[in-house]
């Protein structure tokens, strides 16, 4: 039934009978529908209503059977009343035609002392007549849908004869503007209404001051941004300086060669790296402005030498190093390209002792890899990278630093595994036990940058540089319980997820 029809029906019913109980007038219509129609009428002051919640008692199938045929015990009694000699159990079952009724009924009839046993073990009636209270109760409940007292109801429920059901009904009364037809309501006062004077008799729709406003959608921070700002805070707390990572395109020189990645390395394959086709080629490495007076040419030559012929005590890779290869433009595959140029700049600095001062750098930004996209891989993601340069750093000291750093992210019990990076020696993958997954998961990659890389830059031999990297996506996915990376980044992201995702606090120690 459309609501309009029901509303009109209500008005007509109310015209004959006010107040009106909806459950009596419209017993088959769901209460939500009735309420919808009533609200519509009430908003026009045509009706007033109050909601009445009550419990209704309903007979179970067995209760229905008792209301019709009598209780089991009464049926047993009735069958025996006329059999003067008494009946055997088999005879009783034949007479009643229902073994179950006999089984339950004879027990109850004995307890009521309605029947007894003859010396030869037959059943016989022990009274002239009985009163079948259960049947009466069932009939009362059937006709009134209510029940005389709570104790009796509980008993009948336990016997599975009756169940109760919550009923919502409405006590409806005529309102101030009661009429049999719902008047058209005007929502706006128009020029036509003023001109014709029809506004005088028009009914205007009242303002609904309780209506909720339309949802506002202000900008929302992406979960990656939320986790990023927490991580930046950790780096700043630990005295790190943020590296300028505002360029996605790098030359092969900074992305690979400066990091002692040989030109034949599989990572430099087109299958792994995106090459830029226009322009194809970078300038020679140089500073961004005239304030950078470093000798990039010498550095370039050092890098060539260390790859091709070996230098600084290294035998090198011994292959013909190509300047062309080094100038190819790529979408950076890691932010370590930026770390390399920052370390080169550090090599130019002079501290109070005339040597490059210790430094701590970090960055969190986007990198690109030519990967097949699946649930855990995207062609672009974000890298969190840290670099510590200091004199006489030891690996043990740096492992302790990692404990502190990851501890601030709520990641504890680190384990290290030997790994290989062309630019670090030793290299260590960092693992942590993931309680949810019940296993060790890799959370980062790290290592001591190689002398081939650092000494080419002109950094002193005793300055050690430690670096590590992790993806921003992994801790974010763990934090927000996301298992498919495409729900986090890219065109399949649900904007409501962005809007509704809560602020993040990394559980700091
Ligand atoms: N560049 C490495 C990576 O992409 C991370 C790393 C940075 C490792 C610095 C060692 C040192 O996984």
223 lines ligand 1 (CB under 6 A): no
CA 382 / ligand 1 centre spacing (Å): 12
CB-count burial class (<10 Å; 0-12, 13-18, 19+) for 462 = exposed
pLDDT tens digit sequence for 164-191: 888 899 999 999 999 998 888 888 999 9
pLDDT band of 497, cuts 50, 70, 90: confident
ipTM over 0.90: yes
Q: How far apart are CA 40 and CA 48, in angstroms?
A: 11
Which residue has the least CA distance to atom 10 on ligand 1? Answer: 446
Centre of ligand 1 to C-alpha 174, Å, is: 78
CA of 341 to the centre of ligand 1 (A): 15
Give the mutation target among 268, 363, 421, 468 for probing the ligand 1 site: most ligand atoms within 8 A of CB: 421
Rounded to whole angstroms, the Cα distance separating 321 from 278 reads 23
Distance of CA 70 to the CA centre of its chain: 56
Higher pLDDT, 410 or 230: 230
Dihedral over alpha carbons 383, 388, 393, 395 (to 10 degrees): -10
Output the CA angle 485-490-492, nearest 5 degrees. 85
pLDDT band for 435, please (50, 70, 90 cuts).
confident
pLDDT tens, position by position, 153-166: 888 999 899 998 88
Ligand 1 atom closest to the CA of 445, numbered from 1: 8
- For a mutational test of ligand 1's pocket, the pick from 256, 337, 360, 468, i.e. the residue with the most ligand atoms closer than 8 A to its C-beta, is 468
Q: Which of 382, 385, 405 to mutate to test the pocket of ligand 1 (most atoms within 8 A of CB)?
A: 385
pLDDT in tens, 357-405: 999 999 999 999 998 888 878 899 999 999 999 999 999 999 999 999 9
| Residue-wise pLDDT tens digits, 22-62 | 988 998 999 999 999 999 999 889 999 999 988 888 999 99
Position 3 pLDDT exceeds 60: no
- Cα Rg for the chain, rounded, in angstroms? 43
Q: How far apart are CA 372 and CA 395, in angstroms?
A: 35
Ligand 1 pocket: which of 388, 469, 472, 473 to mutate (most atoms <8 Å of CB)? 469
**Residue-wise burial string across 378-405, b where 16 or more C-beta atoms lie within 10 A, e elsewhere:** beebbbbbbbbbbeebeeeebeebbeeb
Which atom of ligand 1 sits closest to the CA of residue 385? 7
Answer whether 466 contacts ligand 1 (Cβ < 6 A). no
Tell me, yes or no, if the pTM score tops 0.80: no
E strand or H helix at 169, and its extent?
Answer: strand 162-174
Distance in Å, CA 426 to ligand 1 centroid: 12
Question: Beta 20-21 vs 162-174: how paired, if at all?
Answer: antiparallel
Q: How does pLDDT run across 103-123, given as a tens digit for each residue? A: 999 999 999 999 999 898 899
pLDDT for 508 beyond 70: no
Q: Which residue minimizes the CA distance to atom 4 of ligand 1?
A: 334
* SS3 category, 504: coil
Separation CA 221–CA 147 (nearest Å): 59
424 lines ligand 1 (CB under 6 A): yes
């Amino acid at each position: 039934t459309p609501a309009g029809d029901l509303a009109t029906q209500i008005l007509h019913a109310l015209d004959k009978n006010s107040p009106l109980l909806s459950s009596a007038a419209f017993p088959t219509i769901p209460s939500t529908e009735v309420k919808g129609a009533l609200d519509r009428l009430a908003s026009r002051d045509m009706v007033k209503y109050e909601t009445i919640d009550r419990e209704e008692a309903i007979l179970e199938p067995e209760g229905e059977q008792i209301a019709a045929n009598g209780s089991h015990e009464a049926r047993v009694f009735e069958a025996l009343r006329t059999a003067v000699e008494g009946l055997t159990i088999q005879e009783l079952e034949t007479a009643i035609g229902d073994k179950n009724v006999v089984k339950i009924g004879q027990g109850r009839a004995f307890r009521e002392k309605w029947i007894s046993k003859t010396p030869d073990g037959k059943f016989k009636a022990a009274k002239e007549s009985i009163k079948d209270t259960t049947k009466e109760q069932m009939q009362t409940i059937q006709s009134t849908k209510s029940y005389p007292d709570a104790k009796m109801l509980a008993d009948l429920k336990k016997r599975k004869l009756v169940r109760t059901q919550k009923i919502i009904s409405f006590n409806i009364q005529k309102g101030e503007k009661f009429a049999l037809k719902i008047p058209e309501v005007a929502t706006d006062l128009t020029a036509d209404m003023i001109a014709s004077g029809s506004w005088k008799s028009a009914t205007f729709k009242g303002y609904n001051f309780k209506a909720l406003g339309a949802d506002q959608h202000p900008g929302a921070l992406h979960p990656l941004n939320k986790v990023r700002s927490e991580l930046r805070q950790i780096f700043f707390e630990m005295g790190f300086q943020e590296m300028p990572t505002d360029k996605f395109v790098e030359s092969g020189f900074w992305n690979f060669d400066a990091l002692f990645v040989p030109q034949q390395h599989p990572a430099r394959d087109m299958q792994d790296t995106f090459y830029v086709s226009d322009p194809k080629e970078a300038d020679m490495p140089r500073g961004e402005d005239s304030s950078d007076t470093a000798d990039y040419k010498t550095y370039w030559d050092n890098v060539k030498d260390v790859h091709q012929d070996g230098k600084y005590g290294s035998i090198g890779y011994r292959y013909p190093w190509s300047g062309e290869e080094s100038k190819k433009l790529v979408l950076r595959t890691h932010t370590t390209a930026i770390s390399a140029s920052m370390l080169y700049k550090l090599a130019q600095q002079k501290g109070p002792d005339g040597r490059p001062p210790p430094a701590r750098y970090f960055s969190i930004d986007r990198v690109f890899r030519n990967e097949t996209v699946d649930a855990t891989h995207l062609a672009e993601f974000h890298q969190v990278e840290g670099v510590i340069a200091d004199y006489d750093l030891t690996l043990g000291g740096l492992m302790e630093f990692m404990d502190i750093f990851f501890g601030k992210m709520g990641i504890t019990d680190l384990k290290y595994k030997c790994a290989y990076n062309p630019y670090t020696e030793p290299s260590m993958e960092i693992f942590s036990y993931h309680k949810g997954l019940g296993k060790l998961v890799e959370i980062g990659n790290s290592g001591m940058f190689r002398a081939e890389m650092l000494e080419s830059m002109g950094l002193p031999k005793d300055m050690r540089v430690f670096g590590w990297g992790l993806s921003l996506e992994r801790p974010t996915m763990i934090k927000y319980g996301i298992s498919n990376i495409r729900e986090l980044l890219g065109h399949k992201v649900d904007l409501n997820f962005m809007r509704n995702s809560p602020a993040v606090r990394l559980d700091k120690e």
